[in-house]
Structure 1
Amino acid sequence: MTTRTTPTPHPAPRTALVTGAGRGIGRGIALGLVRAGWDVALVGRTRAHLDAVAAEARAVLDAAGRGSARVLVAQADVVDAEAVAAAVARVETELGGIGLVVNNAGVIEQRETDLAADDVEDVWRVIEVNVRGPLLVTHAVLPGMLARGSGHVVNINSGSGHRPSPVYTGYGISKGALARLTTMLDRQYADRGVRVLDVAPGVVVTDMTQAMPLHDERSEWTPVEATVELVDAFGSGRLDALSGRFVRAGTDTPETLAAVADRILAADARTLRLAAYGDDDPVA
């Protein structure tokens, strides 16, 4: 296990940027972070959806007597490098820095099928959105986080990144690649104060999940509040020891993770890795 030094950081601003914030899980995370006391930037492709969530967020703030807290709309397609750079620059200027990024924007194949029967262009579209998006957003926020010596990145991931599936090829590939991005960022920047975590939200009721045939008979869903709880705890620094690893909403909580953190670290668990057949495996 790698020994890490801790930099002397400047306090991270309690500001969060959430991608895909106009609908679904992103909307739920954004509103949950507002309730938890964060200033929040909403990023997504469709301005009308973002404006609607911003109005909801401001109503939450007004009801809580926190009208001075900030909610910012920054429209951008996460696969457009120039749009992402411009959105991040605006958020940093108007919110005074970004302390937490939630890479939530993502898509899945239009059909539930295997690769041979799928449209390879649709498969690639899924990979591009789900990998290029987080890559561009994280690349854009890293300079500010590194200059400050503190910051948190949450990648909204899935068990599909670790478990093979007979369907949704692009989605599985993309989530596996996202898990590798998480481990790479942790290795490169944890010593410089930037922490990163894969958070799987479970199966949340959204337009995307309800359109998936494999969920047709599902009666139990994971509340988005469980994801918010993990994201808030990590962004607040309470789960820093688990940087570079994978947690799942609805199964893990900040309290249960804190209780088993030493076991996770000792076993080097909850991370993307090649399993060896033994101590003598030459590729381990």
Structure 2
Amino acid sequence: MTPRWLRALWGSGTGRFGIVVALVIALTAVVSLFWTPFDPLSTDLRDRWATPSWPHLLGTDGTGRDILSLIMAGARTTVFVSVGAAIVATVVGIALAALGALTARWLRETVAVLVDILIAFPVLLIAMMISSVWGGSLWVVIWSVGIGFGVNIARVTRPELRRVQQSDFVLAGRASGLTPAQNLVQHLLPNVAPVFIVQLSWSMAVAVLAEAGLSYLGFGASVVEPSWGILLADLQRYIAVHPLSVVWPGLAITLTVLGLNLLGDSLREATDPTLAHRSAEVHTPEVVA
């Protein structure tokens, strides 16, 4: 039987859009591992700046590379960075939130100060600073965005954890002999999942933007790694002559970020009973006697 939250998610227009976008990007990344119309890194100077046609559905760039193949291969980089950043953000966020809500007072206050300091630094700035020292790579983007949004997740979920910690079922679990770790897994985290999920989706969306932006500036993916940011940087130099070619990587980035954000918002509404109930009340037509 389909879970209620999944039915609610699919019943929302924004939820369906987010699901479709996420599935298309994931499927494109998987397919590109085995097949692309052309070799993404293969150049053919005889076929430079080809207009969209049957062999090259989205045209070619200034070196004759097929743009559709480059976008398909770039989806691999997007999925790798967004999923990697989400995993890092999950670990960092849960660890800091748990330390800031469930430990001794002096440790809670120390973690709170640390979170407030780290959250003052923009994620992209941290990534650029790290890249200038260690060199640009996808791992720099993953760790920078993951840690940055892990701090954001901890800051948002810490008050929720402390609120849920005073609930009767948590106190009953503690009285029955559950350890703090067991209480965290069984009672606390499921009750802050809606807040956690939307923050996590934002971290994935920002990871896509960060990878594209840093690669555009030369701090992200290397030139031998297909990336939407690198492709956008290459094509925008010729935007006055070949404006259509720039549309495709820009559209891919925009739709992916928009889809992930809308998916996160819809997930929160579908998994939070109070939001779902409020939405149902708004959409219930008034019956006139």
Bigger proportion of residues as strand: 1
TM-score w.r.t. length of structure 1? 0.24
Structure with the greater alpha carbon radius of gyration: 2
TM-score w.r.t. length of structure 2? 0.24
Greater RCO, CA 8 A, separation 6+: 2
